[in-house]
Amino acid sequence: MFTFIEKMEGVDFKGALRILAEKAGVVIEYTSNHTEEKNKTDSLREVVLRAEHFFREHLTEKSEAYAYAKKRGLTEETIRSFGLGYAPLGWRTLLEALTQEGKGTQLLQEAGLIKEADEKRGTFYDRFRNRLIFPIRDIAGRTIAFTGRALDPKDQAKYLNSPETALFKKSEVLFGMHQAKDAIRTRDFSILVEGQFDVILMHQAGFTHTIALSGTALSPEHITILKRYSDNLLLALDADRAGLQASAKSALLALASGMRVKAILLPVGKDPADIVSENPEQMKELVKESVSIVEFFLKVLASREASPHRLLLLVEHIVLPLIKAIPSAMEREHFINIVARALDSTPEAIRESLIRAPLEPREIKESNLPEKPKTVVSEITREDMLQGILMVYPESPLAKRVKNEYARIIGNPHIKESLPEAVLFEVERSFPEPTQQDAADDMLKAFERNVLSSQFEIARKALKEAERAHDTAAISSAFAWCEEIKKRQSLLS
């Protein structure tokens, strides 16, 4: 019985025990330590559930969030099914509503619902404000966190996720998995996309076996969850450089676990949400035309690289590591032959190159990709990467050093609450094990040089303006500023 529940619900023994106990009306007795832990978990679940109800109550037909959801093509049934809500514009609306019900600020903070003001300790405000809210649920369907989509186009953080809590571990949660698990088991493959809207609109269009990550790269824990339902994974990530890099990394991890991985080549500049909104039949065709991840990258690289020699090097650095990760010798041989035919080479030559191939795909360069529209996000900046370190590894020695140095360089920095998936992916790729606190020192120095260069240009212009105006005091101030910047620059050289 336990084994059956574990397989059907995708839970471990403890999870199966809890499910059976709840159905039988049996109360499980815990030791004192377990009781305290359970009481704390229950309190967190209760307050998160209350927050979900609060957000849903505010998603009225007159709200801006409702209008935006409808504009994106969501039906009433879809909005209800995924429990979408609205976080009002006020700074303390949720906080005041829940504290009036007896919920303490410490509990609300531990649940990731409120934040403490940096400038004024002891003052708290709502984490989510003026956002369309997506509940994030665990595999049993219990809400554990939220994602908020900004409604103000001027908001710097387009998407904002709950921080990690005792309930929410982003490396263990797949958005939409609760709704998708049965369809994944039935259809025998899952579709991995990038964002919440991709998942929701894909489900609405009938692709109910679609799931997404929640602010992190694909992890071994994610793979374990997926393999409970199917060993087949279909990647439908963006066709830009970051999307292809994420596809390569996700595929490597999945292949190494014994999964079979295919991919869809999405039209450049479009994501799954765009495609199913405009033409669901096109997505059906793309799924039908999907190919193995090896053939996918062979096609992508060959479509862009005209030089046969450079194409050979790209395949060696990007495609062969994927084949190398496959545990099955017979499957490896199958793909060796595919690569040999694609490159007009021999299986023997590919096998020899496979021995020397790196364990992980090399970085994919923008020059090897199809042209992308100007609307796609530009290259990741050093500032994004430094802020990403603070978000991905908040308690590490590396993050503490970055935060201190970043504050010294900028003065009074604005720490972002959310960053694009591509930035978080690059951080995890560049700093996979942030054990050394000086791991980002070269990046910090380069960042400081750029900041000082920009500041010097501003100071130089201020000095010229002061000289033209014959303002002695301003000249003295601007000159001192220039000298101070030059002194800092000399210390970096």
The domain that holds 66 is classified in CATH as: 3.90.980.10
Question: Does residue 108 sit in the same domain as residue 201?
Answer: no
Q: Is 1 in the same domain as 96?
A: no
Asked if 112 and 59 sit in the same domain, the reply is yes
Do 307 and 217 share a structural domain?
yes
Tokens standing for residue 127: 């984490």
- Count helices and strands (H / E) in the chain: 23, 11
Using the 3D structure, point to which of 333, 368, 403 is the last residue of a domain: 368
Same domain? For 152 and 186 the reply is no
Q: What are the tokens at 318?
A: 């990007």
Q: Does residue 214 surpass a pLDDT of 50? A: yes
**Res 445: pLDDT:** 85
C-alpha angle with apex 479: 474 to 485, nearest 5 degrees?
Answer: 130
User: What contacts 14, CB < 8 A, 6 or more positions away?
Assistant: none
In a domain, 376, yes or no: no
Give 118's pLDDT tier (boundaries 50, 70, 90). confident
| Residue 15 identity (one-letter amino acid) | G
**Judgement on whether residues 16 and 163 belong to the same structural domain of the protein:** no
66-70, 312-316, 363-367, 441-445: range with lowest mean pLDDT: 363-367
Claim to verify: residue 229 and residue 256 sit in the same structural domain? yes
Give percent of the chain with pLDDT exceeding 70. 86
- The answer to whether residue 332 is domain-embedded is yes
Q: What are phi and psi of 332, to 5 degrees?
A: -60, -45
- pLDDT of res. 380: 62
The domain that contains 184 carries what CATH number? 3.40.1360.10
Alpha helices (H) in 136-217, listed in sequence order: 177-187, 196-204
Average pLDDT, the chain: 86
Comparison of pLDDT for 381 and 34, the residue scoring more? 381
Say if 375 falls within a structural domain: no
- The verdict on 191 and 80 lying in the same domain is no
How confident is the model at residue 8, as a pLDDT?
Answer: 56
Q: Rounded to 5 degrees, what angle do the CA atoms 135, 138, 139 make?
A: 130
Question: Is 377 within the bounds of a domain?
Answer: no
Q: Say yes or no: 129 and 188 in one domain.
A: no
Residue at a domain's end among 168, 203, 236: 168
Burial of 65 (0-12, 13-18, 19+ CB in 10 A): buried
Single residue among 125, 141, 168 that ends a domain in this structure: 168
Rounded to an integer, the average pLDDT of 73-86 is 97
Shared domain for 101 and 205, answered yes or no, is: no
**Co-location of 338 and 453 in the same domain:** no
Task: For residues 95 and 11, state if they share a domain.
Answer: no
**Cβ count within 10 A of residue 390:** 20
By the 8 A CB rule, do 28 and 34 touch? no
Average pLDDT over residues 197-220: 94
Long-range (24+ apart) CB contacts under 8 A made by 219-224 are: 219/171, 219/172, 219/253, 220/253, 220/257, 221/169, 221/171, 221/172, 222/171, 222/172, 222/174, 223/253, 223/254, 223/257, 223/259
Q: Which domain holds residue 294?
A: 177-368
Domain count, the chain: 4
pLDDT at position 234 over 60: yes
Asked whether residue 177 carries a pLDDT value surpassing 80, the answer given is yes
Q: What is the pLDDT of residue 370?
A: 43
Phi, psi values for residue 255, rounded to 5°: -60, -40
DSSP calls for 70-103:
HHTT--HHHHHHTT-EEE-SSSSHHHHHHHTTT-
Q: Residue 212: what are its φ and ψ, rounded to 5°?
A: -145, 165
Q: Classify residue 345 by its DSSP letter.
A: -
How far apart (Å, rounded) are the C-alpha atoms in residues 150 and 115? 17
Q: Which residues of 194-226 are buried (b: 16+ CB within 10 A; e: fewer)?
A: bbbbbbbbbbbbebbbbbbbbbbbbbeebbebb
112: helix, strand or coil: coil
pLDDT tens digit sequence for 409-451: 877 656 666 677 667 777 776 776 655 788 888 888 888 888 8
Give the tens place of pLDDT for each residue, 330-388: 999 999 999 999 998 999 999 999 999 998 888 775 554 544 333 333 346 778 888 88
pLDDT of residue 379: 46
> Among 98-112, 271-285, 384-398, whose mean pLDDT is lowest?
384-398
Q: How far apart are CA 257 and CA 355, in angstroms?
A: 20
In a domain, 72, yes or no: yes
CB atoms < 10 A from the CB of 5, how many? 18
Cβ neighbors of 143 (< 8 A, separation 6 or more) are 48, 49, 52, 83, 135, 136, 137
Q: Has residue 488 been placed in a domain?
A: yes
pLDDT: is 242 or 373 the higher one?
242
117, part of any domain: yes
Is residue 374 a part of any domain in this protein? no
Which residues fall within 8 angstroms of residue 44, CB to CB, at 6 or more apart? 107, 110, 111, 165, 166, 167
